[in-house]
Amino acid sequence: MFAYQPLLLTYVYRLTKSESHAEEIVQDVFLKVWMGREALEGVQNFKNYLFIICRNYALDQLRKIVRERELAAEWENEQEHTPAISDTETDEFIFTLLDEAVNQLPPQQQKVYLMARRQGLSHAEIAMQTGLSVLTVKKYMKLAIAAVTEYIKARLSGVSLVLVAMLAGLDIIF
């Protein structure tokens, strides 16, 4: 499977125009293929199968980025039409709400979340420091972000989902 990695990286890079996105997509595809390897018995051309999976996953990721940018633009537009609150009051409220949400997380998720968001560590760096696998770190981050998002949404009914996502620390690209 890894014999195809250079070809897949080049192919996905051409689609995404991003080396880091290409590497992550190919790694995720390899993981998905490995996790579902029992279903590979019916695959007659493995190389084509990998390329199709990579293409579809890359396109899904590009659609996600476009959707996030649209949400960010919508949020910016909403902010232009929202009465101003003092920055200090807003910051205090946001940090208090976020701290409450993070304090509700299970200990390992909380630790991983804080290392990523407050210390700015990558998944690999967190894995090395905690002794967890990179996949476990990714899973904990996904669960933590979902829990923080739900906590904030529950306390801010009627607030834009983009704002909730930004408060939860999602990676929205502007």
User: In this predicted model, which residue has the larger pLDDT, 56 or 74?
Assistant: 56
79 pLDDT above the threshold of 90: no
Could you tell me if residue 74 is inside a domain? no
Are 88 and 48 within one domain? no
Are residues 103 and 34 part of one domain?
no
Instruction: Give me the DSSP letters along 90-132.
Output: HHHHHHHHHHHHHHTS-HHHHHHHHHHHTS---HHHHHHHHT-
Question: Domain for residue 48, yes or no?
Answer: yes
Residue 109 banded pLDDT, cuts 50, 70, 90 = very high
Q: What pLDDT, on a 0 to 100 scale, did the predictor assign at position 3?
A: 86
Residues 170, 158: Cα–Cα separation, whole Å: 19
pLDDT on residue 164: 56
pLDDT digits (tens, 9 = 90+) for 130-144: 999 999 999 999 999
Mean local confidence (pLDDT), 77-96: 68
Task: For tokens 């125009």, name the residue.
Answer: 17
Q: pLDDT tens, 17-58?
A: 989 889 999 999 999 889 888 888 888 898 899 999 999 999
- Tell whether 59 and 87 lie within a shared domain: no
Same domain, yes or no: 38 and 113: no
72 part of a folded domain: no
6 and 59 in a single domain? The answer is yes
Q: How confident is the model at residue 158 (pLDDT cuts 50, 70, 90)?
A: low
Tell me the residue range of the domain where 28 lies.
2-65
Output the pLDDT for position 148: 86
Asked if residue 116 is part of any domain, the answer here is yes
The verdict on residue 155 lying in a domain is yes
Report if residue 75 sits inside a domain.
no
Q: Looking at the domain assignment, is residue 52 inside a domain?
A: yes
Task: For residue 171, give the 3-state DSSP assignment.
Answer: coil
Q: Say whether both 58 and 7 belong to one domain.
A: yes
CATH of the domain at 111: 1.10.10.10
- Nearest 5°: CA angle at 152, between 75 and 81? 25
Asked if 90 and 42 sit in the same domain, the reply is no
CB 75 within 8 A of CB 162: yes
Q: Which residue has the higher pLDDT, 42 or 88?
A: 42
Cα–Cα–Cα angle for 155, 148, 105, nearest 5°?
115
For residues 92 and 37, which has the higher predicted lDDT (pLDDT)? Answer: 37
Do 160 and 91 reside in the same domain of the chain?
A: yes
| Domains identified in the chain, total number | 2
54 or 85: whose pLDDT is higher?
A: 54
How confident is the model at residue 130, as a pLDDT? 93
Per-residue confidence (pLDDT) for residue 152, from 0 to 100? 79
Q: What is the pLDDT of residue 84?
A: 55
- Residue 174 pLDDT class (50, 70, 90 cuts): very low
Regarding whether 91 and 55 lie in a shared domain, the answer is: no
